[in-house]
Amino acid sequence: MEQKFMRGLVKATMGPGELVYREDLPIPEINDDEVLIKVHCTAICGTDLHILDWDEWTQKRVKKPVTLGHETAGDIVAVGKNVKDRKVGDRVSCESHIPCGHCYFCENNMPHICKNVELFGITQDGAFAEYAKIRSDCTFLIPDDLSYEAACLFEPMGAGVHGAENANVKGKTVLVSGCGPIGLAAISACKHFGASMLIVCARTDSKLTVAKEMGADLVFNTKKVDLAQEIMELTDGIGVDVAIDVTGSEDAIHTALRCLRAGGDLVGVGLPTKPVTFDLGNEILYREIHLTGVSGRMIWKTWEDFAEIMNGPYFDTEKVLGEKYAMIDYKDAFARSRSGAPGKNLIYPDASLIPEK
Ligand SMILES: [Zn+2]
Ligand SMILES: [Zn+2]
């Protein structure tokens, strides 16, 4: 490759602070097990904002300057010599949890919760750049009928799908709290997996409208109604079988527990920014609540399920995407993400690839 340097967005300071736009980053050199990807587009994640804010989670993980960006899709332009199942020209998205391959969890079919996991675009350089490298077994071939833009959604929204997978929702009444992009994935997944009644709550009417379009049977604005009271009326005073929390908010989690029947499943998908306190005896133990966490996606079951969901009747990619920005305009893109405006915002290293409206 003649090009030696590339453009990218780097978190340079180990403390709170914005990204730096660089034009002098070396093009990543791949090892024998890696592929080099020419990035088509990369979505901004809430985690990227947490990293800029340098929250506690970030402080434990980010130890050196890093090119951010982990929700990406692009084309393979080079493969290492051990790589057999990927070739130049393949369209791929990336699993951001890079498992070690040899710990207890990796050896027991749980690589997504690997003890030594590295994180693409967080603990190692990612895809807010013209090129990114990653181990080839962390790439997912994008089905032909999905766009690059849709493929950027596997990683972030897969957590919502994984939440629905963990909850075994078939034939059950389900509450999903929160309907940002990950919530919408959980909603369409719950319908796909056969939830009998799907109730969605949030604090914004416009988001609830989209939730309905993506498959929610009933929606409630928790600013306006007493959710637990509504749900008890709907379920003959029993409560829902499953509650999936996508907010990570302490208030929302306690509310979900009040809506959940004894013996029900609470699945946590949304990442709290600080510790959440429970009344363990009264809220969980006496009621035999099963509490399950979700970390990323099952590799590759969640991805395969999500590909089906994206092609199914409930999920609508366009409703989940926000605005599209050239990489040089990253400040506008991040400002929109911070504003809470709906939709995943995408950054394109090559502005000519931004689809016309
Ligand atoms: Zn993310
Ligand atoms: Zn491992």
Query: Contacts from 292-295 at CB under 8 Å and sequence distance 24+?
Result: 292/166, 292/167, 292/265, 292/266, 292/267, 292/268, 293/267, 293/268, 294/159, 294/162, 294/163, 294/166, 294/267, 294/268, 294/269, 295/97, 295/112, 295/113
**Ligand 2 center to residue 115 CA distance, Å?**
5
Q: 274-316, pLDDT tens digit by residue?
A: 899 999 999 999 999 999 999 999 999 999 999 999 999 999 9
Q: What is the mean pLDDT of residues 204-231?
A: 96
129 pLDDT exceeds 80?
yes
Predicted pLDDT of residue 212: 96
Q: Which residues share a beta bridge with 175?
A: 199, 243
Among the bound ligands, name the one nearest to the CA of residue 96.
Answer: 1
Closest ligand (CA of 106): 2
227 CA distance to ligand 1 middle (Å) = 29
CA of 71 to the centre of ligand 1 (A): 6
Distance CA 183, CA 161 (A): 9
- The per-residue pLDDT for range 152-171, each reduced to its tens digit, is 999 999 999 999 999 999 99
Distance 313 CA to ligand 1 centre (A): 25
pLDDT of 53 higher than 80 = yes
What average pLDDT does the segment 1-20 reach? Answer: 93
Distance 89 CA to ligand 1 centre (A): 25
* Average pLDDT of every residue of the chain: 96
Nearest ligand to residue 99 Cα: 2
Residue 213 has pLDDT above 90, yes or no: yes
pTM: 0.92
Q: Confidence band (pLDDT; 50, 70, 90) for 356? A: confident
Instruction: Note residues around ion ligand 2 (Cβ under 5 angstroms).
Output: 99-100, 103, 106, 114
* Ligand positioned closest to the Cα atom of 45: 1
pLDDT score at 1 = 63
pLDDT at 346 over 80: yes
For residue 254, how far is its CA from the centre of ligand 1 (angstroms)? 25
Q: Find the 9 Cα to ligand 2 centroid distance in Å.
A: 29
pLDDT bin (cut points 50, 70, 90) of residue 38 is: very high
For residue 119, the ligand closest to its alpha carbon is 1
State the number of CA atoms in the 13 A half-sphere of 148 facing the CB: 21
Ligand 2 centre and the CA of 107: distance in Å?
7
State residue 357's pLDDT score.
73
pLDDT at 208: 95
Q: Which residues does the annotation mark as catalytic?
A: 47, 50
Q: How many A from CA of 118 to the centre of ligand 2?
A: 9
**Which domains are present in the chain?**
5-152+316-353 (3.90.180.10), 159-293 (3.40.50.720)
Does 77 have pLDDT greater than 90?
yes
